[in-house]
Structures are given as C-alpha cells and as structure tokens.
Structure 1
Amino acid sequence: MSAILGFIKFAAALCLALAIFFVVNLASGGLFTNRDLEEPAYVILRDEEEAPAAPAEEQSFEELLAAADPAAGERVFKECRACHRVEEGVHMVGPSLYNVVGRAVASVSEFKYSDAMTGLDGEWTPERIDAFITNPRDYAPGTAMTFAGLDKAADRAAVIAYLQSLGM
C-alpha cells in the first residue's frame, strides 16, 4: 500500500512541476513579447569591421593554376611521396611523375599500371590531373591508387604547378 502511495505522491509532484513550468512560461512570454510594435524598439548597429564579409568568388582552375606557387606544391606533394617520386625513371608503388604534364596516360613502359589506368586514353593535361587527384577512385574506378584525393583546389593547382616546373 505504501508503494502505491509513494507513486501517487511522485506523480502529483511531477504534474505540479509541469503546471508551474507552463504557467511561468506563459507569463514570461506575455511580459517580454510586445506584438503591438510596428518597428523594432531599438536597432543594433554594427561596425563595418564586424559586418560579415561577402563570400569570395570561386576562382576558376585556370586562375588558380596561373597563381599557384610551385614551392607550395612541393610541400603539398609530400602526401604523394609515399608512392611517387619525381626523379626521372624512379618508380615506387606508383610511377615516376617526372615530366608527367603532357605525357600520355599509362605510358611509362617499365611500370605495370592497373587495368583502370591502361583503359584511359589521352594525355595528362593540368585539367585532367586536377580531376584525377580530386578523387582518383571516382575518376578511374578500379584504380590501384588508394589515395583519397586532395580536397582543396588551391592545393591541387600548387601540386600541378610543381609537377610542371620539374620537366622544364
């Protein structure tokens, strides 16, 4: 019997707490909300420095590549060094990337490419390299390249500028 009485007291206390919360919420809403105003009572002015900046226009790949710094690309290329080298004829898990810009796809005779890469035609243009290193597995499904890709367009442009600077 006392367990039932304890449960009833608990339920009554919970209902009373909810009723108090509802009444306080209703009263405070009535006190602090004035729906009769036609315009705001005050306006918060911002300094020009605090105003949110307008979103910058995205640059095209050509603009990014033209402004890219090969030295910055060399730093970003450290991610690629696990599998690639830039010395002529030095291959690792991936082929040498020396003079890759303008070279035919899968054209290094002493390197064994995956079927996904040998199935591609054409040459490695800057735009094509950009598309490939954005997400290699989307660009060439079935490629053996496990690299996830470079997210930032500026980083990709810098790497391509670095690779272009090597064959000169």
Structure 2
Amino acid sequence: MFDTMTLTKAGGAFCGALLVFLLGKWAAEIVYATEAGGHGEEHAQAYVIETDEDEGGAAEEEEGPDFATLLASADVDSGARVFGKCKACHKIDGSNATGPYLDGVVGRAVGGVDGYSYSGALVEVAETWTPENLNAFIEDPKGFAPGTKMSFAGIRKAGDRADLVAYLQSISE
C-alpha cells in the first residue's frame, strides 16, 4: 500500500505545488508592482498642478463659520442620522458597548463612565465634554487625543459634527 512510488508521487506533487506558488508570486510582483512608476523605474512628473501656496509652503484653507455659529443653527434630526456612524460602538441607553454610552455625554467629565476601561489619553487633553471638545474629538480622534482606543477616523464635515453635537446635547438634557 505504501511503496516508493507513492512517496515519489507525493514528493512530486509537493514540488509541483511549490513551483506553481512561486511562479504565481513572480507574476503578481510584475503585475502589481508598487515601486515608483509602477514597475521600478523612475519617471519625471508629466505636469505640475499650480496651487495658491504662501511662502511657508502650505496651501491656505478656506475658513468657514466657527463651530459656535454652526452649532446654533444645527439640525438635531440630521444629527440623529449622523449618529448612525456611531451606533456600531456606542449606545444611548446607558449601557456600554465597544465604546462608552453617549447619553448625557455633553457636560460629563471625560473618562467619567463607570465600568468602561478608558485608554487614559482623553483625560490628558480635556476635563469635560464641552461641545467644543466633542467637535475637536469627533473631527480627528487620534489627533485630538493621541493614544486613544477609538479607531474611528473622524467626521470631516463641520456641519455634520455640529448636527451630531446638537443631537448629543438633546439626549443629554
């Protein structure tokens, strides 16, 4: 039942499979090259896109209305829809999930939810969840509190952040 021919066949099958995988890797490296220019060689830039940069080298950003103005005209119903992005990790029923519960968050002490294990990064940057602190944290969690456990990338639109904070204020009262 187990003779040298069976052992030879098994060895040949192993070597053949290894050869197929190595050839596949080689073909994938050629097709999906990630080096400069797509295939290892350097290429000169085809054209330059002109930007209005100041002497410091940074492009000027358009300044919109400040957060207080946006918050004053925020839409709570729209904030409830924006909260849909937060529902995966946060609840508003007083129970913790992946993240701490958010009902009553506006005005609450940072790191003030009993039973939730915070990373400690938040307490270093703020004491209370004011609307301004919430806005800064929601915009860029890792930038506001480096080392935070929150892996969410943030909400870039200032209007959406204002709507969300208005919604959180409405459920905090």
Report the TM-score range of the alignment, normalised by the length of the smaller protein. 0.5 to 0.7
152 and 103 in structure 1: CA distance in 2 versus 1, 3 angstrom threshold: same
Per the alignment, residue 71 of structure 1 pairs with: 77
Kindly provide the amino acid, as one letter, of the partner of residue 153 in structure 2. Answer: A
In 2, are the aligned partners of 1:101 and 1:125 still within 8 Å (CA)? yes
Alignment of 1:17-166 (within 5 A): 58-88=64-94, 90-166=95-171
Separation in 2 of the partners of 1:126 and 1:167?
12
The structural deviation recorded for 1:120 is: 4.0
Task: Give the length in aligned residue pairs.
Answer: 112
The structural deviation recorded for 1:115 is: 2.4
57 and 123 in structure 1: CA distance in 2 versus 1, 3 angstrom threshold: closer
The structural deviation recorded for 1:144 is: 0.8
How does the TM-score come out when normalised to structure 1? Answer: 0.63
- CA deviations on 1:12-40 (whole Å, 9 max, x unpaired) are xxxxxxxxxxxxxxxxxxxxxxxxxxxxx
Q: Which has the higher helix share?
A: 1
Structure 1, unmatched stretches of 5+, are: 1-55
Separation in 1 of the partners of 2:90 and 2:116?
12
In 2, are the aligned partners of 1:105 and 1:120 still within 8 Å (CA)? no
Cα RMSD, aligned residues only: 1.5
In 1, are the aligned partners of 2:125 and 2:144 still within 8 Å (CA)? no
- CA deviations on 1:85-104 (whole Å, 9 max, x unpaired) are 1112x111100001100000
Separation in 2 of the partners of 1:110 and 1:135?
25
2:138 aligned counterpart, secondary structure: helix
57 and 131 in structure 1: CA distance in 2 versus 1, 3 angstrom threshold: closer
Matched-pair identity in %:
48
Per the alignment, residue 5 of structure 1 pairs with: none
Structure possessing the higher radius of gyration over alpha carbons: 1
Which sits farther off after the overlay, 116-125 or 70-79? 116-125
The structural deviation recorded for 1:118 is: 4.0
